[in-house]
Structure 1
Amino acid sequence: MPLPPPAPRALQHTRTVTCRGYKRDDGLWDIEGHLTDIKTIAIPLKERNDGWVPAGEPIHDLSLRITIDLDMNIHDVASSMDLTPYRLCPDITVQYKKLIGLRIASGFTRQTRELFSGISGCTHLLELLGPIATTAFQATHKEQLARIEHMPDVKPFMLDNCHALNTRGQVVKQHWPDYFQGEQIPAELIPAEPIPAKELS
């Protein structure tokens, strides 16, 4: 269902984030993220052009690539800043090599914030790591499922990671019955206070 019709308005800014996942010939995976920020009006910026960024020209044009294996271990990182507000911005890209050796798993967001928050990184490259991480799971999904089929004692990684894949819900009951945990009691049916034993007799 689309959003409801908006009030009268004028577009000011567009942030575009595009992420792509590639299966490499060597068995590894490249996950690439690209971010642009574009305004519909010219803005003053002393270190760009003649002191202005024209309407339609990106203020930010940033890219980040991570190379992973199927266990989500990061083997390599490359980053670039083709357009930035300040000339020194690209100096920070080398810091993102610190991602090498990390694993995209529970706690990954916390780790990246510890490494790159504040003056230790670029706000926009840090933000880009979130959609890159989820794209990594989407890109490798088919191979991950194929692996699970040969590991019957391993719970599929995606279960209990979103509302639809609740192991007490109907989707899991239908598609992964071995991991179904039984119907969840709706919150409105759970008594606020324990029912006295005499009322149960």
Structure 2
Amino acid sequence: MYTLLFVDDHPLYREGVRRALSDATPDLRILLADGHASALQVLSADQDIDLCLSDFQLPDGDGLALLGQVARRHPTVARGLLCGAPDPAMARQAQVLGCVACLSKDRDIASLGEALRSLFEGGSVYDVAPAAELSVVSLSDKRKEILRLAAKGLSNKEISALVGISERTVKDHWSYIFEQMGVSNRTEAVSQALRERLL
């Protein structure tokens, strides 16, 4: 039996998907969450989740930010988007985060069930082709400057002196950069920024 965590803030749609998938796929266990915080709580409480599918628009943070956190905290859980209007930019961001799916809510239950079977078997399903070249995130000039200086090997203390902010504020900027880019340290952030031509 596989376990799916479905994250969506619309209770009628969320429950409708659960009931329909349960009827169509009796060997599938489905857990529900209504946002970023509740999804992380469910993941922390249940170690048997195989796949986390999230809507993009959530009340407490977008779905990609959530999936980035899931990647860091629960690396064995496969991740994907199930949203109303996926586009190539969104699909590209999901791909860079290592997601296995970017699905459209236009799918009927039979089609969604087929996609899930493919995902549980180790495949990937993208309803929209990812954009070929796209910056992963839109970072402020100050955060890009922090990344540029880190790429030159400067420490947080040296960056704070050059940028004119406290070392604590530099660390706060790093926390935001890590979350938005779906990475866990400075080296990964700099490498990804260079790959994605953010700098």
Please state which band the TM-score falls in when normalised by the shorter chain.
under 0.3
Flag the structure with larger Rg: 1
- The TM-score normalised by the length of structure 1 is 0.23
Q: How does the TM-score come out when normalised to structure 2?
A: 0.23
Tell me: higher relative CO, structure 1 or 2? Use CA pairs within 8 A at least 6 residues apart: 2
In terms of fraction of residues, the more helix-rich structure is 2
